[in-house]
Amino acid sequence: MIKLLLFTTEGPRKILVVEDNRDVLDAVLSLLEFCEYDAKGVTGMDEEIINEVTSGNYDMLILDIMLSGSDGRNIAKEFRSRKETSDIPILMISASPDLKASALEAGATDFLSKPFGVHEMKQKIEQYL
């Protein structure tokens, strides 16, 4: 038990990236890997992923707003309403800078507009992890 606790605090932090564009997703995963985070990417949400998040598998979420078939803001709201994920850092990303206010309102911890650079993304993550 002690060993497990040590592993989760000292090992690489785990980040889940939800982004429907495969190229952007791959790029963000490469960036996170370069910054030595343990990153997993998905192009959409399903029951299994939600369970993974709510069981505390991730330290942070990077969530795109315009997902095919769903709205990242609704996903953020959903996690915020659950006790297990009410304070998990959620960084929302979008190509529309206008959406910042509504993203924060939906429960995002922070917002980053596309296209972002390595430096900006790294800085944002380090603020919360």
Interface residues with another protein (CB under 8 A) are: 21, 23-24, 26-28, 30-31, 34, 95-98, 100-102, 114-119, 121
Burial of 27 (0-12, 13-18, 19+ CB in 10 A): middle
In whole angstroms, give the CA distance from residue 99 to residue 92.
Answer: 10
State the minimum distance, in angstroms, from the CB of residue 44 to another protein: 16
Residue placing its CB nearer to another protein in the complex, 31 or 75 = 31
State the minimum distance, in angstroms, from the CB of residue 85 to another protein: 25
Residue placing its CB nearer to another protein in the complex, 27 or 50 = 27
In whole angstroms, give the CA distance from residue 69 to residue 30.
Answer: 25
State the minimum distance, in angstroms, from the CB of residue 120 to another protein: 8
CA-CA distances (angstroms) from residue 116 to 38, 57, 91, 93, 113? 20, 26, 13, 9, 6
Residue placing its CB nearer to another protein in the complex, 37 or 85 = 37
State the minimum distance, in angstroms, from the CB of residue 24 to another protein: 5
Amino acid at 105: E
Residue placing its CB nearer to another protein in the complex, 50 or 66 = 66
| Closest among 64, 50, 53, 51 to 106, alpha carbons compared | 64
